[in-house]
Each structure stands twice: as structure tokens, then as C-alpha cells.
């Protein structure tokens, strides 16, 4: 068929502008043996030819309208083009007269458009027109009149010819590069058989639109490899935000340079390092062009967004002018939140004023104070509220706000260290188990020069975190300094909080006399200061001390009181934690059925309310009961899940869970590793349990004696009696 079509075109081209008789065409196309119905076969062939050529039917035959010279104004295709397979596939599927490729500055819109235009050349044999409208340029933009004159001339017309008339009966592709919305319509072909491809930094929802994002990780690696950049380029790609323009500038700058040196320069001066001095190509200059196109109000909003240090921005903080930024592809919308590309965020951050940063800080502090007040987490507020808090409807709304804004809050507390903001976030971060983040921001505030009670509040945060991570001596020192500061200032509620933490530390390292002393001091302060929630927590800790002292009945009584008070206060944290502690005591008394039910309630409550620390503790403690009732595989599942939840934040839970797994696996090697870690961290109760477990596994009398000696030296009478019973 292709040969017949070529023969027909050749026959018509031989007599341009003149009709060629039907019979003559049949003879030229089928010189050997004409088809059975030659006129019908000729009509079929002509209809196929009309897909690419203009053929006119005359009374005596067919006439081919000669094509004018076909202009091709397309820039050369990039030889090192990489990736964009998904976007190209989407473009291929779109059947529309106008295709738009949009996206943020430097994302590679022009490169993709030129690649697509070259791919489409065969479909538009009458030419491909191209114009860079310079809609985002340092110099003047190209006017509609200038662009039309360029197109008319390329199509063979004169000053008085009409652009769209010249396109009539032609198949031409028009590429409008770097266009702004107001200049597009007059330049569109608006003629059957023609099409347009438009690139713009602004969204063009009126057309079939493909929005371009940054390169995928692998595509970024391929681009740098094509530019002969050798070595590990992962950090270079991260610093460039996978933005094609930034990657190409980095690749060009690396010619003759040491990769680690350039990466170090990027870390320190990212935007400045992403420029090529000899031709003034720069990421910052590209951003400048888009910024200048904004309205004054949108520019102010963009600058203001640079004061938000986190990954995205809520609608309530961004304000209405953010919609213009979205249209300009300087900001991306994600539901009711807004994001900036890493380099654009850095660009905006450099434009933000001190007043912008203060406004953002105040907005977050007021909301954090309001959410903390409604959270009812049962934690003492270590510093008084200094802002005018934004009220929240209920606990669920406050929790959801903290969850949504957590990364922004942590970033803000690092960017602008402040003990008041940390105090507002403390309850939520402890409740949800974000220990590492609380450590980071409390350290930042303490090191920023906070003094007096503000420093003491940060020390209380760090004491708790050091305790959980096994740094007991550092935790004790933080507590002692905080207690002295709060006592001197007459801040009894805050002093009681530090005393309670100090009691917990001494409990875990097996110094029960000191634990009882500090816990009693805390309990004496709770009542007079109306600290009802804290009282329930203190009673819970007292119950655990009573357990280790061997007074199981007293421990049960105290813990039942703790749970009852917590329920009356609707305090889910202390209720869940108290249930877990009560179940431990019930299990110690061999009340296995009741203990099982209480553990399950504690687990369900902690999971439902997102209390990760209580959940992982309950899983480890419940696993011990499951081992005692010969449900070892269930115990393994709970211990392994607790390990996952602990991550790198809670060494105590990590070592405790590993002890459970050593018991499940009956592994001497695992017992030895737990012993090593527990001894190093001074987790005395875990150390004693590990010694007893290994002794039972090996039936080693000397190990039993060592475990009993370690338990008695720490005053752990319950543990010592338990080991004696097991040995006998």
C-alpha cells in the first residue's frame, strides 16, 4: 500500500496544479495489472493521501495543490534528554488542538516541548512554527504583533497577509514557548488540521494540560551521568532538589572540579553555587523572573511563606493571595495545604523579613498553646502561657492539629529556639512518642541561652528523655538542677514533676530507697497544688515501687486507686498507663485471666488515642504474661511490634523487648547481649531478670545466686523472692 501511495503522489506532483485524468492515474499507480474496480481503488488511495496532502477532485481527474515551503523553526532537540516517560506517554494520549506543558521555573518545560514537537513533525508536514515569547525574561517580552509577523513571514506571506488564512488547508504545528496567558489566544492556529503546543510557568486549565514535576531520582542520576559527572551524586541531587535546571548548572560547574568540594559549596551557599557566571545562567535569576510577574500582594505573600520553616503551609496561615502563587506554579497545592520546592523555599526564606518570621512564630505559638490546653494529656505545663491562645473545640481537634503541624512546629522550634514553644509542644510529643524531636528542640532552646525557670523546664524535658535512653547520670543531673531552680522560685507543681521523674530514674536503676523518697516528696506537692492528673501518675509509680519491694497487695490497692481517679478525670493517658501497671501486678499475683483482660484494655486505649510509649510498654509487659501462660508466638509478635515502635528513641523498651525475645527463643546468646546492654545502661531490673532467665535456661546455680545477689543489693525483694521460688 505504501508503494501505491508513493506512486500516486509522484503522479500528481509531476503535473502540479493541473488535474490528472483518472485513467492516467490508474495506469501510473498500477502499471502491470489494474484492480478489478480501478476507480473505487483510486478513491480509497486518494482518501489516504489526503491525510497528509491537499488533493482536489476535478470533473476530469484529481489535482494536487502544491505545498508551499514548509518552515521548521524548532530549536535542536537535546541529545542528552533523559526520563519523562510518564509525561511523554500522557502527551501521546491527548487528542486536543492545544496542549499545554506547565510547571515551576527550571523544571524543563521547554526541553520536553521541543522533544514532543520533533516527535510530531511527521504529522504536520506543512511546517512547525516556534517562538519564545519571553514571558518570563529580564528584557521585554515578545508582543503578539511581533510573533505574528514572524509566523506570517515563515509561512511565505507578506505584511498584509492574515496569519490564520495562511494556515488554511495546511497542517502546521505552532509552538508557543514561555507564554503568559494574555498572549496565547491570538497566536493559536484555530484552523482544522493544525495544532499548538504551549509552555508556561502559569497554569492553563483552559487547555489539555500536563503539569511537569521535578525529575525522579533515577532520572536525575541519568542526567548527571550523561554530563560525565562521576562519583556518588546522591547528595548533589538532593541539594538541587531534582530540578533539571539546577542539575544542569551543577553538571556544568563540575567540569574540572572535585565533586565533594562543590557539594560542600552547595551546602553552604546553595543558590549562589547554582549559577554559571560567564553566561549569567542561574537558578536564582530564573526565580527572579517569575517573582517579578507577580502582583505586589502576591509578592508579599510569597516572601511571608519563606518565614515558614517546615515542609508545607496551612491555608489559614497562607492567606487568599496564595492562589495567584499556585497559578504561577511557584507554590503547589496539596489539599488545603501548600508546598514550595526546596530551592524555591530557600529563595523565599531569603526574602522573608524579621516581621514575617515573628508573625509566623506568634501564629504557631498561639495555636500550640490552645491545642495543648485542650489536649488534656495529664502533663504539667512547665512554663506559664504567654500568648493569647487560639481555642480548639475538643481533644480530637487539638490532637489532629498537632499531628498535622508537627513537622512545621519542630522546624520552627529549631529555627527560632524558644522554651515557651517547647513547653507547649511537650505534652503532645511525649504522648505520641516523638522523643527524638522533643530532645532536638529542648536542646536547641537550652543552648540558645535560656536561663532560670525557662532553662529548668528544658532540663525536665531532657531528664525524661535521657532516662528513657539509659543516660541515667545525665538525667539525674538535669533533674537536680531543675528541682533547685523551681524550689527557689516557689514553683511547686513544676518541682513535683521533676521529683516524679527523678523517682522513676532511681526505680529503674534499682535504688528503691531514693525512688521512694523522691516519689513521696512529689506526692506531698500534688494535692495542695490541685494536680489531680499528676497524682494519678504518681500513684501509678508508687504501685510499681511497692511491687518491687514485695508488697503486692499494697501495690494492687494503690494502682486500682490510680486507675479509678484517672477514669473520673477522663484522663486517657493515666488511665491507660495505670491499667498497664495494674495488669503487671495482677500477673505477678498469678491472676492471669484478669491481668489478660486489663492488658488488652490498656493496649486498645493506647492504640486508639495514639499513645505510642504506653502501647509499646504494654506490649512488652503483656508478652511476659503470654510467656507465663505458654503463648510464646503471641509473645513474640508483641515484642517485635514493641521493637518497631521504639525505633531509636526508647532504649529501655528496646532492651526490655529483646529480653522477651531471648525468653521466647530460649537463646543464651540473646540473654548475654541483653545483659551487656542492661548493665551498660544501668537498667538494674532488666539486668536481674536477664540473669534469672539465663540461669533458668541453663539450670545454673551460680547464675541463680548472682541474680539473687544483684536483686537484694538493689532492694528488689519481689525479684529476689521470685528467683528463689524458680530455683527451688
Q: Which of 286, 320, 338 is the last residue of a domain?
A: 286
**At 420, is the pLDDT very low, low, confident or very high (cuts 50, 70, 90)?**
very high
Per residue in 667-723, pLDDT (tens digit) is 999 999 999 999 998 898 999 999 999 999 999 999 999 999 988 888 888 888 889
Q: Give the 3-state DSSP-derived string for 632-695, with helices as H, strands as E and coil as C.
A: HHHHHHHHHHHHHHHCCCCHHHHHHHHHHHHHHHCCHHHHHHHHHHHHHHCCHHHHHHHHHHHH
Residues 509 and 431 grouped into a single domain: no
Q: Please state, for a pLDDT cut of 90, what percent of the chain lies above it.
A: 48
Strand, helix or coil for residue 101: strand
**At 569, is the pLDDT very low, low, confident or very high (cuts 50, 70, 90)?**
confident
Instruction: Check: CB of residue 224 under 8 Å from CB of residue 239.
Output: no
User: How high is the pLDDT of residue 80?
Assistant: 74
* Residue 710 neighbours by CB under 8 Å, 6+ apart: 684, 687, 688, 691
Residues 144 and 224 grouped into a single domain: no
* Residue 675 neighbours by CB under 8 Å, 6+ apart: 687, 690, 691, 694
- Domain CATH code at residue 148: 3.40.50.300
User: How high is the pLDDT of residue 275?
Assistant: 78
> CA-CA-CA-CA torsion for 396, 399, 404, 409, nearest 10 degrees?
150
* Residue 6 neighbours by CB under 8 Å, 6+ apart: none
**At 556, is the pLDDT very low, low, confident or very high (cuts 50, 70, 90)?**
very high
Residues 165 and 96 grouped into a single domain: yes
549 within a domain of the structure (yes/no):
yes
- Cell reading at 195: 495544532
**At 465, is the pLDDT very low, low, confident or very high (cuts 50, 70, 90)?**
very high
DSSP letter, residue 550? T
Please check the confidence at residue 587 and state whether its pLDDT lies above 60.
Answer: yes
Instruction: Write the DSSP string, 561-614.
Output: HHHHHHHHTT-HHHHHHHHHHHHHHHHHTT-HHHHHHHHHHHHHHHHHTT-HHH
Rounded-to-integer distance, Cα 135 and Cα 138, Å: 9
Higher pLDDT, 409 or 534: 409
658 within a domain of the structure (yes/no):
no
- Domain CATH code at residue 345: 1.10.10
Residues 115 and 170 grouped into a single domain: yes
341 within a domain of the structure (yes/no):
yes
172 within a domain of the structure (yes/no):
yes
The number of beta carbons lying within 10 Å of the beta carbon of residue 230 is 9
* Residue 96 neighbours by CB under 8 Å, 6+ apart: 195, 207, 208
Rounded-to-integer distance, Cα 455 and Cα 459, Å: 6
Cell 474496480 belongs to: 37
Per residue in 299-318, pLDDT (tens digit) is 999 999 999 988 889 988 88
**At 66, is the pLDDT very low, low, confident or very high (cuts 50, 70, 90)?**
low
Per residue in 198-244, pLDDT (tens digit) is 999 999 999 999 999 999 999 999 888 888 888 898 999 999 888 88
The number of residues in the chain equals 728
Residues 46 and 112 grouped into a single domain: no
Please check the confidence at residue 65 and state whether its pLDDT lies above 80.
Answer: no
User: How high is the pLDDT of residue 591?
Assistant: 95
DSSP letter, residue 228? T
- Domain CATH code at residue 15: 1.10.10.10
Q: Kindly give the pairing relationship between strand 128-132 and strand 61-64.
A: unpaired
Q: Kindly give the pairing relationship between strand 55-57 and strand 61-64.
A: antiparallel
Residues 90 and 200 grouped into a single domain: yes
Please check the confidence at residue 384 and state whether its pLDDT lies above 80.
Answer: yes
When the pLDDT of each residue in the chain is averaged and rounded to a whole number, the result is: 89
**At 370, is the pLDDT very low, low, confident or very high (cuts 50, 70, 90)?**
very high
> Which residues lie across from 102 on neighbouring strands?
200, 211
Please check the confidence at residue 446 and state whether its pLDDT lies above 90.
Answer: yes
Half-sphere exposure of 455 (CA within 13 A, CB side): 13
For 328, the domain range is: 294-352
Rounded-to-integer distance, Cα 243 and Cα 241, Å: 5
Residues 99 and 183 grouped into a single domain: yes
User: How high is the pLDDT of residue 138?
Assistant: 61
Q: Which of 257, 286, 315 is the last residue of a domain?
A: 286
Per residue in 110-136, pLDDT (tens digit) is 999 999 999 898 889 889 999 999 887
648 within a domain of the structure (yes/no):
no
Query: Cα angle at 287 between 286 and 288, to 5 degrees?
Result: 90
Alpha helices for 418-511 (secondary structure H): 419-432, 435-447, 452-468, 472-489, 492-508
654 within a domain of the structure (yes/no):
no
- Cell reading at 726: 524458680
Rounded-to-integer distance, Cα 263 and Cα 235, Å: 7
> CA-CA-CA-CA torsion for 308, 310, 315, 320, nearest 10 degrees?
40
Residues 107 and 194 grouped into a single domain: yes
The CA-atom distances, in angstroms, between 646 and each of 382, 432, 622, 684 are: 25, 11, 16, 20
Q: How many domains does the chain have?
A: 8
Per residue in 337-350, pLDDT (tens digit) is 998 888 888 889 88
Ramachandran angles phi, psi of 234, nearest 5°: -60, -45
What's the gap between Cα 352 and its chain centre? 23
- Cell reading at 141: 517580552
The CA-atom distances, in angstroms, between 639 and each of 186, 580, 648, 697 are: 69, 15, 15, 19
Rounded-to-integer distance, Cα 556 and Cα 145, Å: 89
Cell 522477651 belongs to: 660
Rounded-to-integer distance, Cα 455 and Cα 594, Å: 45
DSSP letter, residue 32? S
User: How high is the pLDDT of residue 277?
Assistant: 61
User: How high is the pLDDT of residue 590?
Assistant: 94
Residues 324 and 235 grouped into a single domain: no
Instruction: Check: CB of residue 721 under 8 Å from CB of residue 687.
Output: no
Please check the confidence at residue 630 and state whether its pLDDT lies above 60.
Answer: yes
User: How high is the pLDDT of residue 32?
Assistant: 79
On the 0-12 / 13-18 / 19+ scale of CB atoms within 10 A, 481 is middle
182 within a domain of the structure (yes/no):
yes
Strand, helix or coil for residue 199: strand
- Domain CATH code at residue 522: 1.25.40.10
Higher pLDDT, 46 or 718: 718
- Cell reading at 140: 521585554
Half-sphere exposure of 502 (CA within 13 A, CB side): 27
Helix (H) or strand (E) holding 209: strand 208-212
Instruction: Write the DSSP string, 145-177.
Output: HHHHHHHHHHTT--TT--HHHHHTT---EEEEE
User: How high is the pLDDT of residue 413?
Assistant: 95
Average pLDDT, integer, range 561-566 = 92
- Cell reading at 11: 503522479
Query: How many angstroms separate the first and last alpha carbons of the chain?
Result: 98
Rounded-to-integer distance, Cα 578 and Cα 418, Å: 33
Average pLDDT, integer, range 523-539 = 83
User: How high is the pLDDT of residue 512?
Assistant: 87
Residues 99 and 60 grouped into a single domain: no
Instruction: Check: CB of residue 690 under 8 Å from CB of residue 659.
Output: yes
Q: Which of 396, 418, 450 is the last residue of a domain?
A: 450
Please check the confidence at residue 354 and state whether its pLDDT lies above 90.
Answer: yes
Listed residue (436, 432, 464) closest to 607, CA to CA: 432
Rounded-to-integer distance, Cα 133 and Cα 591, Å: 82
Rounded-to-integer distance, Cα 351 and Cα 348, Å: 5
Residues 102 and 181 grouped into a single domain: yes
Rounded-to-integer distance, Cα 125 and Cα 122, Å: 6
Please check the confidence at residue 3 and state whether its pLDDT lies above 90.
Answer: no
655 within a domain of the structure (yes/no):
no
Per residue in 596-619, pLDDT (tens digit) is 999 999 999 999 988 888 999 999
Strand, helix or coil for residue 386: coil
The number of beta carbons lying within 10 Å of the beta carbon of residue 527 is 11
Residues 490 and 389 grouped into a single domain: no
* Residue 121 neighbours by CB under 8 Å, 6+ apart: 72, 74, 128, 173
* Residue 590 neighbours by CB under 8 Å, 6+ apart: none
Please check the confidence at residue 522 and state whether its pLDDT lies above 80.
Answer: yes
Give the helix, strand, coil percentages of the chain, each rounded to 5. 65, 5, 30
Per residue in 85-99, pLDDT (tens digit) is 889 888 888 889 999
- Cell reading at 488: 527557689
Amino acid at each position: 500500500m505504501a508503494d501505491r501511495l508513493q506512486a500516486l503522489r509522484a503522479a500528481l506532483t509531476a503535473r502540479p496544479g493541473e488535474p490528472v485524468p483518472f485513467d492516467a492515474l490508474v495506469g501510473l499507480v498500477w502499471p502491470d495489472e489494474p484492480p478489478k474496480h480501478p476507480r473505487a481503488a483510486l478513491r480509497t488511495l486518494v482518501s489516504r493521501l489526503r491525510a497528509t496532502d491537499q488533493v482536489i477532485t476535478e470533473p476530469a481527474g484529481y489535482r494536487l495543490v502544491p505545498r508551499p515551503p514548509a518552515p521548521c523553526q524548532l530549536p535542536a532537540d537535546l541529545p542528552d534528554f533523559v526520563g519523562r516517560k510518564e509525561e511523554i506517554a500522557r502527551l501521546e494520549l491527548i487528542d486536543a488542538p492545544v496542549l499545554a506543558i506547565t510547571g515551576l521555573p527550571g523544571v524543563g518545560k521547554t526541553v520536553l516541548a521541543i522533544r514532543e514537537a520533533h516527535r510530531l513533525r511527521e504529522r504536520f508536514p506543512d511546517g512547525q512554527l516556534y517562538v519564545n515569547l519571553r514571558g518570563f525574561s529580564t528584557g521585554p517580552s515578545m508582543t503578539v504583533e511581533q510573533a505574528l509577523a514572524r509566523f506570517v513571514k515563515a509561512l511565505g506571506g507578506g505584511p498584509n497577509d492574515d496569519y490564520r488564512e495562511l494556515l488554511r488547508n495546511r497542517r502546521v504545528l505552532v509552538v508557543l514557548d514561555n507564554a503568559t496567558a494574555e498572549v496565547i489566544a491570538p497566536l493559536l492556529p484555530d484552523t482544522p488540521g493544525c495544532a499548538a503546543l504551549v509552555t508556561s510557568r502559569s497554569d492553563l486549565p483552559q487547555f489539555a494540560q500536563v503539569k511537569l514535576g521535578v525529575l525522579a531520582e533515577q532520572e536525575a542520576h541519568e542526567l548527571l551521568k550523561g554530563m560525565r559527572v562521576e562519583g556518588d551524586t546522591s547528595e548533589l541531587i538532593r541539594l538541587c532538589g531534582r530540578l533539571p535546571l539546577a542539575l544542569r548548572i551543577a553538571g556544568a560547574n563540575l567540569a574540572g572540579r572535585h565533586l565533594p568540594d562543590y557539594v560542600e559549596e552547595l551546602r553552604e551557599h546553595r543558590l549562589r553555587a547554582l549559577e554559571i557566571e560567564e553566561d549569567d545562567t542561574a537558578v536564582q535569576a530564573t526565580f527572579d523572573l517569575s517573582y517579578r510577574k507577580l502582583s505586589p500582594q502576591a509578592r508579599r505573600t510569597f516572601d511571608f511563606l519563606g518565614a515558614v520553616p517546615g515542609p508545607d503551609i496551612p491555608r489559614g496561615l497562607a492567606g487568599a493571595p496564595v492562589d495567584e502563587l499556585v497559578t504561577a506554579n511557584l507554590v503547589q497545592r496539596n489539599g488545603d495545604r501548600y508546598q514550595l520546592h526546596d530551592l524555591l523555599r530557600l529563595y523565599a526564606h531569603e526574602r522573608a523579613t524579621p516581621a514575617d518570621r515573628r508573625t509566623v512564630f506568634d501564629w504557631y505559638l498561639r495555636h500550640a498553646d490552645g491545642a495543648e490546653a485542650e489536649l488534656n494529656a495529664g502533663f504539667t505545663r512547665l512554663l506559664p502561657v504567654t500568648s493569647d491562645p487560639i481555642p480548639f473545640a475538643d481533644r480530637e481537634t487539638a490532637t489532629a492539629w498537632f499531628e498535622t503541624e508537627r513537622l512545621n512546629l519542630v522546624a520552627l522550634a529549631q529555627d527560632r529556639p524558644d522554651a515557651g514553644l517547647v513547653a507547649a509542644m511537650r505534652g503532645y510529643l511525649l504522648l505520641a512518642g516523638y522523643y527524638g524531636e522533643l530532645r532536638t528542640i529542648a536542646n536547641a532552646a537550652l543552648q540558645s541561652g535560656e536561663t532560670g525557670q525557662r532553662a529548668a523546664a528544658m532540663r525536665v524535658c531532657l531528664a525524661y528523655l535521657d532516662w528513657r535512653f539509659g543516660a541515667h547520670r545525665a538525667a539525674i543531673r538535669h533533674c537536680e538542677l531543675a528541682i533547685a531552680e523551681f524550689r527557689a522560685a516557689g514553683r511547686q507543681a513544676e518541682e513535683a514533676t521533676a521529683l516524679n521523674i527523678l523517682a522513676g530514674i532511681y526505680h529503674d536503676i534499682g535504688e528503691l530507697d531514693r525512688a521512694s523518697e523522691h516519689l513521696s516528696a512529689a506526692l506531698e506537692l500534688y494535692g495542695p497544688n490541685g494536680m489531680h492528673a499528676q497524682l494519678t501518675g504518681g500513684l501509678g509509680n508508687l504501685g510499681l515501687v511497692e511491687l518491687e519491694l514485695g508488697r503486692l497487695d499494697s501495690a494492687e490497692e494503690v494502682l486500682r486507686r490510680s486507675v479509678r481517679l484517672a477514669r473520673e478525670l477522663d484522663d486517657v493517658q493515666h488511665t491507660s498507663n495505670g491499667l498497664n501497671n495494674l495488669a503487671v501486678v495482677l500477673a505477678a499475683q498469678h491472676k492471669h485471666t484478669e491481668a489478660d483482660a486489663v492488658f488488652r484494655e490498656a493496649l486498645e486505649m493506647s492504640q486508639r488515642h495514639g499513645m505510642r510509649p504506653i502501647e509499646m510498654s504494654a506490649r512488652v509487659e503483656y508478652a511476659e504474661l503470654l510467656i507465663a501462660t505458654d503463648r510464646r508466638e503471641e509473645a513474640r509478635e508483641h515484642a517485635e511490634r514493641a521493637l518497631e515502635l521504639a525505633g531509636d528513641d526508647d532504649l529501655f523498651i528496646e532492651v526490655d523487648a529483646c529480653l522477651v525475645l531471648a525468653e521466647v527463643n530460649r537463646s543464651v546468646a540473646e540473654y548475654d547481649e541483653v545483659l551487656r546492654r542492661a548493665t551498660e545502661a544501668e537498667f538494674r531490673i532488666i539486668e536481674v531478670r536477664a540473669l534469672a532467665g539465663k540461669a533458668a535456661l541453663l539450670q545454673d546455680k551460680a547464675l541463680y545466686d548472682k541474680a539473687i545477689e544483684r536483686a537484694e543489693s538493689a532492694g528488689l525483694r519481689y525479684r529476689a523472692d521470685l528467683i528463689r521460688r524458680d530455683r527451688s
